[in-house]
Amino acid sequence: MKIAIMGAMIEEIDPFLVTDGDEPLLQFFKKHNECQYGGNLYHEATFKGHDIILAYSKIGKVNAALSASTLIEKFGAEMVLFSGVAGAVNSELKIGDLVAATQLCQHDLDITAFGHPYGYVPEGAVYVDASAKLLAIATEVAEEKNINLKHGIIATGDQFIADHEKKDWIKSTFKADALEMEGAAVAVVCDACNVPFFIMRSISDAADSDAAFDFDEFLKHSAQRSSRFIISMLDKILVKA
């Protein structure tokens, strides 16, 4: 099986690749090749006899869609796991909480002038469903490790939200629990290509007026928490493969 692991920023993929000493994290992956393609660096590795491709897309929906497409079409990924951070929309979510996306939507997609709901594009849908099988595996991992994994709707847009009013609008319009800038783009690509996907986000800020401060302070810790969970999932995925 060939599995892709994605993040948006280097900080979200770094925990998979290096230790504090900047050496390959061989207990997870044996890195054997790096490939530059489309302006991005892709890491080809092996894990328990299976091929792993790691990449960070850079921020935003276009970059995320490009990287997800490359992972599937060029590298032959049969599954995509996304690890990263997000802002909380649901007031019950706290910094460090893990959220597994059940559905994803684009909060900045607006053709309401033509009578369509926010987030809808003709011949598409407002929401894209994540893989039920991968969500079930994530639930198993969470139960085994006694982790309070949240399931919810993640809203995506090409905006870093740091505004109460905008956050409340996204929450009420899409029933969203968290928001970020890449997930729905990855979901659309994977859904179109019939590739199962799972998107994990660790809460790094509250998407309010303090979001920029919180994000910088908690980015590394939140990214590490998400990446550790993805590794545990990977173990279980390969056992079931």
List, for residues 45-99, the tens digit of each pLDDT value. 888 888 999 998 899 999 999 999 999 999 999 999 998 888 889 989 888 889 9
Q: Would you place residue 204 in the very low, low, confident or very high pLDDT band (cuts 50, 70, 90)?
A: confident
Whether 110 has a pLDDT exceeding 80, the answer reads yes
- pLDDT, position 107: 97
| Spatial contact of 107 and 33, defined as CB atoms under 8 Å apart | no
**Where does 2-240 sit in CATH, by number?**
3.40.50.1580
Whether 11 has a pLDDT exceeding 80, the answer reads no
- pLDDT, position 23: 39
Contacts of 208 (CB under 8 A, 6+ apart): 162, 163, 164, 167
Structure tokens at 219: 């980015």
Whether 26 has a pLDDT exceeding 80, the answer reads no
Amino acid (one-letter) located at 3: I
Spatial separation of the C-alpha atoms in residues 13 and 16, rounded to whole Å: 6
Q: Would you place residue 29 in the very low, low, confident or very high pLDDT band (cuts 50, 70, 90)?
A: confident
Catalytic residues: 12, 205
- pLDDT, position 22: 40
Q: Would you place residue 20 in the very low, low, confident or very high pLDDT band (cuts 50, 70, 90)?
A: very low
Does the pTM of the predicted model rise above 0.75?
Answer: yes
| Spatial contact of 210 and 91, defined as CB atoms under 8 Å apart | no
Count the residues in the chain.
241
- pLDDT, position 12: 64
| Spatial contact of 120 and 113, defined as CB atoms under 8 Å apart | no
Average pLDDT over residues 161-169: 87
| Spatial contact of 184 and 170, defined as CB atoms under 8 Å apart | no
Contacts of 215 (CB under 8 A, 6+ apart): 85, 87, 160, 204, 205
DSSP3 helix / strand / coil % (the chain, rounded to 5): 35, 30, 35
- pLDDT, position 207: 53
Nearest residue to 90 via CA among 141, 154, 17: 154
Q: Would you place residue 184 in the very low, low, confident or very high pLDDT band (cuts 50, 70, 90)?
A: very high
Average pLDDT over residues 206-234: 64
